[in-house]
């Protein structure tokens, strides 16, 4: 039995349009005429003000690449614990390689989420001095294609995210390329998550407790099972399932902070399946698009008004990330 505190309700639907989460086609922004481009920008901006999530078609990630990466991820998590733990690197706060079960928790919680995960980080290949800031990615010896496919998916999602942020810049009346320099060789993360089968009565109703993402935007390729829920303006949990040709793309806390809460970083969670499905795993691969650590997250002056006064103090992206990693238990 799931518990919904504080009067929160649940909507049992996977229909995105009925659930209030619109679907947009990125091709309209990249290749469309001025009218199509503006329509995309307005639909995206309204969705990000209202709920913070959209489903995106016309992106750069193919179904074939997504499926192949999911297959590699499943093979990795089928390895023995000893083999997986050999890829857990002390001192990196989970930012590269493997993080074992239950180590991360939601902000404000102490109980670990029911998951283990792997993280790929940035590949700096153009001589940029920022390479010194980033630890190297970890290679999985048992699976030669694991890192190859992980890198390819990372780059395609990064490219998709770049165009999404250009549309967001338009909506905010900024220069179209406002974000480009800040995300080039940025501190983005591709996370491959495994929620193992549930063997005993869980202490809570969720595999990942309600939370907001830290970054600018998150791009999620279709998860292997249902479970993702978003909290809408009516204080209702809405079940979300990405269709095969779509990404679910949501606003993160950094973008909410930058826009002084104009764009909404929506609370979401992953709930446990019904008891008859406890014996199944769930896999999910989100791409957390982060800027460089030097990007200022000071609220845009255009987003500060008498009706919406300044909400946040100035902070750098790197400082904010460090603060949040401590809050979720990955950094001491």
pLDDT of 2: 34
In tens, the pLDDT along 313-326 reads 999 999 999 998 88
DSSP character string of 156-222: HHHHHHHHHHHHHHHHTTS-TTTTHHHHTT---EEEEEEEPPP-S--SSSEEEEEE--SSSEEEEEP
Assess whether pLDDT exceeds 70 at residue 134.
Answer: yes
pLDDT of 5: 37
8 — pLDDT class (breaks 50, 70, 90): very low
Greater pLDDT, 223 or 30: 30
Backbone φ and ψ for 79, nearest 5 degrees, come out as -65, 160
Distance CA 210, CA 6 (A): 13
Is there a domain that residue 3 lies in?
Answer: no
Q: Which of 238, 302, 242, 291 shows the shortest CA–CA distance to 269?
A: 238
pLDDT of 285: 94
Is there a domain that residue 109 lies in?
Answer: yes
Is there a domain that residue 47 lies in?
Answer: yes
pLDDT of 210: 82
Tell me the mean pLDDT in the region 23-52. Answer: 95
Tell me the mean pLDDT in the region 224-236. Answer: 77
10 — pLDDT class (breaks 50, 70, 90): very low
Range in 135-139, 217-221, 324-328 with the lowest mean pLDDT: 324-328
Range in 185-189, 277-281, 290-294 with the lowest mean pLDDT: 277-281
Tell me the mean pLDDT in the region 76-89. Answer: 96
Distance CA 51, CA 266 (A): 6
Is there a domain that residue 2 lies in?
Answer: no
Distance CA 35, CA 83 (A): 54
Question: What is the CATH number for 279?
Answer: 2.60.120.330
Is there a domain that residue 332 lies in?
Answer: no
Is there a domain that residue 4 lies in?
Answer: no
pLDDT of 244: 73
Structural domain boundaries enclosing 23: 9-327
Q: Which residues of 143-175 are buried (b: 16+ CB within 10 A; e: fewer)?
A: beebbebbebbbebbbebbbbbbbbbbbbbeee
In tens, the pLDDT along 87-131 reads 999 888 889 999 998 775 556 555 667 789 999 999 999 999 999
pLDDT of 157: 98
230 — pLDDT class (breaks 50, 70, 90): confident
Assess whether pLDDT exceeds 70 at residue 295.
Answer: yes
Distance CA 32, CA 57 (A): 14
Assess whether pLDDT exceeds 70 at residue 331.
Answer: no
DSSP character string of 279-319: TS-EEEEEEEE---TT-B-PPPGGG--SSS-------BHHH
Is there a domain that residue 175 lies in?
Answer: yes
Whole-number percent of the chain with pLDDT over 70: 86
Greater pLDDT, 243 or 130: 130
Total domain count for the chain? 1
Q: Cα dist. 94→102, 118, 214, 326 in Å?
A: 12, 8, 15, 12
Assess whether pLDDT exceeds 80 at residue 290.
Answer: yes
Tell me the mean pLDDT in the region 212-223. Answer: 89
Is there a domain that residue 1 lies in?
Answer: no
Assess whether pLDDT exceeds 80 at residue 284.
Answer: yes
69 — pLDDT class (breaks 50, 70, 90): very high
pLDDT of 266: 84
Greater pLDDT, 285 or 326: 285
């Amino acid at each position: 039995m799931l518990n919904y505190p504080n009067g929160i309700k649940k909507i049992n639907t996977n229909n995105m349009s009925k659930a209030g989460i619109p679907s947009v086609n990125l091709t309209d922004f990249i290749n469309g005429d001025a009218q199509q481009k503006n329509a995309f920008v307005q639909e995206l901006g309204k969705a990000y003000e209202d709920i913070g999530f959209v489903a995106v078609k016309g992106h750069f990630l193919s179904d074939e690449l997504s499926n192949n990466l999911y297959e590699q991820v499943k093979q990795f998590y089928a390895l023995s614990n000893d083999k997986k733990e050999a890829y857990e690197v002390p001192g990196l706060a989970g930012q590269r390689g493997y993080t074992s079960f239950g180590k991360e928790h939601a902000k404000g919680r102490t109980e670990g989420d029911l998951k283990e995960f792997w993280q790929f980080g940035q590949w700096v290949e153009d001589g940029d001095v920022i390479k010194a800031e980033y630890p190297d990615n970890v290679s999985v010896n048992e699976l030669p294609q694991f890192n190859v496919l992980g890198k390819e998916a990372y780059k395609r999602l990064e490219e998709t995210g770049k165009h999404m942020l250009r549309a967001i810049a338009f909506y905010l009346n900024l220069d179209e390329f406002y974000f480009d320099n800040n995300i080039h060789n940025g501190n983005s993360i591709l996370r491959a998550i495994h929620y193992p089968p549930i063997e005993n009565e869980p202490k809570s109703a969720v595999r990942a407790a309600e939370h907001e993402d830290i970054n600018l935007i998150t791009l999620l390729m279709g998860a292997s099972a249902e479970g993702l829920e978003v909290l809408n303006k009516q204080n209702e949990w809405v079940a979300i399932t990405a269709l095969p040709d779509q990404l679910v793309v949501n606003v993160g806390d950094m973008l909410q902070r930058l826009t002084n809460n104009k764009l909404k970083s929506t609370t979401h969670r992953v709930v446990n399946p019904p008891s008859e499905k406890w014996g199944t795993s769930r896999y999910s691969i989100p791409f957390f698009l982060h800027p460089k650590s030097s990007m200022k997250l000071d609220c845009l002056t255009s987003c500060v008004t008498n009706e919406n006064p300044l909400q946040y103090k100035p902070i750098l992206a790197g400082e904010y990330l460090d603060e949040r990693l401590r809050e979720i238990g990955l950094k001491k």
